[in-house]
Structure 1
Amino acid sequence: MALHASPPPTSRFLFGAGLGMGLAMLGMVGRKLMVQAPTMLAGDWNRALEAEHEATLSLFDRLARTQDDATARRALLLMQLKHALGKHAIEEENAVYPAMRQHGMKEEADALNADHGYVKQYLYELSDLVGDNAAFQTKLAAFRADIEQHMRQEEDELFPRLKRALDEAATSDLTRRMNQEGLKLA
């Protein structure tokens, strides 16, 4: 009859710690894929960015509907808006705008990139106004108008020009690159 010795406590601890770390990594990857999935499923890069634009405008609308005393809800929605815009900016700045520059649209890409600096300024200012509903709503309305103008320029003029300049392989490559960038912040 053979006796089976149980592993020493240190081995069990290390196994448990390794298993926990592995599960945490799987959870992180799963969360990133869930956040990026709507973009990835939207199709080519331009359709995906348009879907993100719509989702962003929806967040603006939800923020605009917050009540005077809903500072916690407003802060949460503002955090979601910051995350959505941050991820979106990384996708555009690191994939789409370089493609625009490569296809003779350098000035347009640089102007869009400069707009992103103003987005950061608006977000900074809104963070300080969460508790002041009137000032918050005024700043939010101005921000939404500016961001919507930026989106319309991209969707109606610039992205169609870039799309026409790309063949099928370049479109596929840009879509892949954009999704890789989105996963970094997802």
Structure 2
Amino acid sequence: MVSRSSFARAKTKSVTFGSINRTVAMTVGAAAIANIGRKLAVQSPTTLAGDWFDGLVAEHRMVMKLFDVLQATDDSSTAKRGMLIVQITHALSKHAFEEENVIYTALRNAGRVEDADRLNHEHGYVKQYLADLNAMKKDDSGFLEKVSAFRRHLETHIRSEEDELFPALRAHLDGSENSSLTRKMNVQGLMMA
């Protein structure tokens, strides 16, 4: 037979575990909502820019502004350099995901296979620069030199996209196809944001 005190202890434990489970569920729910809000905030400048081309141009400009700030640092700014490299890495990773999974596929479908392959190959160098800069000591005397070489590589890549390839792709597609590309790119961006 179960004594009253055993029953009371069991009931108290049940209430306590129930309270803990509700608290955990509420915390997880709040974190999920916060993450969705963060993703929307990260992707919103691209989405608000308009179509896919304008969104990518906005992302290019944002990354170049981060490079401006990074290149204005000195060797004593190790924490700031580290933070900026993390921001650049995240921004370029999201950007590359959008381009590689949506835009370069559209280039291939439009018969620009060699161009898409070249751009994808150039992304390999971007990823290598990011890996090198993330691994490099932020007060290394060659740090800013590496950043400058990386920026030059990116600027060449961006000019090719913005001045030739992406405008040609946009002109090749009709309004519905451009709208579809914009939606697909924003979905990919949200996934990586």
TM range (shorter): over 0.9
C-alpha contact 1:53 1:151 (8 A) present in aligned 2: yes
Q: How many Å separate the matches in 1 of 2:183 and 2:98?
A: 10
The answer to whether structure 1 residue 169 and structure 2 residue 176 are counterparts is: yes
Tell me the equivalent position of 2:4.
none
- Gapped runs of 5+ residues in structure 2? 1-11
1:127 corresponds to 2:124: no
2:21 maps to which residue?
A: 14
Report what 2:192 is aligned to.
185
- Post-superposition offset of 1:14: 1.9
Structure 1 residue 64 displacement after superposition: 0.4
Q: Find the counterpart in structure 2 of residue 136 from structure 1.
A: 143
Structure 1 residue corresponding to 2:111, chosen from 104, 111, 132: 104
Q: How does 1:4-153 map to 2 (within 5 A)?
A: 8-153=15-160
CA distance in 1, matches of 2:111, 2:54: 22
C-alpha separation between the residues in 1 aligned to 2:192 and 2:29? 20
SS at match of 1:134: coil
Aligned residue pairs: how many?
182
* Cα distance in structure 1, aligned partners of 2:54 and 2:143: 31
Larger Rg computed on CA atoms: 2
SS at match of 2:111: coil
Q: TM-score, normalised by structure 2?
A: 0.90
Q: Is residue 82–residue 123 contact of structure 1 (8 Å, CA) maintained in 2? A: yes
Residues 90-117 of structure 1 show CA distances to partners (whole Å, capped at 9, x for unaligned) of 0000010001100111110000000000
Aligned counterparts of 1:10 and 1:132: Cα–Cα separation in 2: 50
Q: CA deviation at 1:133?
A: 4.4
Secondary structure of residue in 1 paired with 2:98: helix
Higher mean displacement: 8-17 or 116-125: 8-17
For the aligned residues, what is the CA RMSD? 1.6
Shift of residue 20 of structure 1? Answer: 1.5
Q: Describe the superposition over 1:4-45 as per-residue Cα deviations: whole angstroms up to 9, x where unpaired.
A: xx9822222222221111111101101111111111111100
Paired with 1:47 and 1:176, the residues of 2 have a C-alpha distance of 13
Partner of 1:69, secondary structure, is coil
Q: Quick check: 29-38 or 12-21, which moved more?
A: 12-21
Q: When the two structures are superposed, what TM-score results if normalisation uses the length of structure 1? A: 0.93
Q: Where does residue 3 of structure 1 map in the other structure? A: none
